[in-house]
């Protein structure tokens, strides 16, 4: 059985992992016979957003504890992720990827990736093990792979420009498709960067997971 490490960034589109994307990733992995283990950084999240009002609110939440809601408690700290134990890596999107896994939401093209996240992603890249990035999480790719890595966040011009400014080669992509960099063995899909419904997000994520397991 192929085994995939999944990195979550909290719980909820505005301040954590996008729940639909995360669940679709896990569902497609399971349907295609792959095992998976969820991980998340054990640290405070960037901020807390009320998902009903869309407004930031006082308080602090832990990325690992919030991610455990999606993983039904079956989750480990990112420090315990060892590349040798897995065949591939998968990162769903959500603003948590741009706020908790890196600081792109605040710093744009000058973004830095959380050191633990960067180390793990680089380990998979160095081991030539395939990786999949969904939605906004591909913004990490230019920090993980050498200059010129191909990826997509869909068609949003400002984020595409930032991806390119960070050293990546951005390729526009429909929500129902994927972009693969065969040299670096990494694949990406726009998901809710473009999706208007869960069914649209499902098509691209399904293709990504299928290809990830083939790789």
Catalytic residue IDs: 135
Question: Cα–Cα distance between 208 and 116 in angstroms, integer?
Answer: 24
Q: How far apart are CA 215 and CA 206, in angstroms?
A: 14
Q: What distances in angstroms separate CA 140 from CA 42, 56, 106, 128, 207, one per listed residue?
A: 19, 24, 14, 17, 20
DSSP symbol at 32: T
Contact, 133 vs 188, CB < 8 A?
yes
Closest CA relative to residue 139, chosen from 82, 206, 193? 193
Question: Number of H helices and number of E strands within the chain?
Answer: 8, 11
């Amino acid at each position: 059985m192929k085994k995939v490490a999944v990195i979550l960034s909290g719980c909820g589109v505005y301040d954590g992992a996008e729940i639909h994307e995360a669940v679709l990733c896990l569902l497609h992995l399971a349907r295609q016979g792959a095992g998976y283990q969820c991980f998340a950084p054990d640290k405070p999240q960037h901020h807390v957003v009320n998902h009903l009002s869309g407004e930031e609110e006082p308080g602090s939440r832990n990325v690992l504890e919030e991610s455990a809601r999606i993983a039904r408690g079956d989750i480990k700290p990112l420090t315990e992720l060892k590349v040798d134990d897995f065949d591939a890596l998968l990162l769903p999107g959500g603003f948590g990827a741009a706020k908790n896994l890196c600081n792109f939401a605040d710093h744009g093209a000058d973004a830095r990736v959380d050191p633990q996240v960067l180390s793990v992603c680089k380990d998979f890249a160095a081991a030539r093990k395939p990786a999949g990035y969904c939605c906004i999480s591909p913004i990490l790719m230019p920090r993980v792979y050498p200059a010129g890595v191909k990826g997509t966040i869909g068609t949003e011009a400002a984020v595409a420009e930032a991806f390119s400014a960070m050293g990546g080669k951005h390729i526009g992509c429909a929500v129902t498709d994927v972009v693969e960099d065969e040299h670096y063995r990494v694949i990406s899909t726009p998901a809710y960067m473009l999706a208007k419904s869960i069914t649209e997000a499902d098509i691209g994520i399904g293709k990504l997971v299928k290809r990830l397991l083939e790789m």
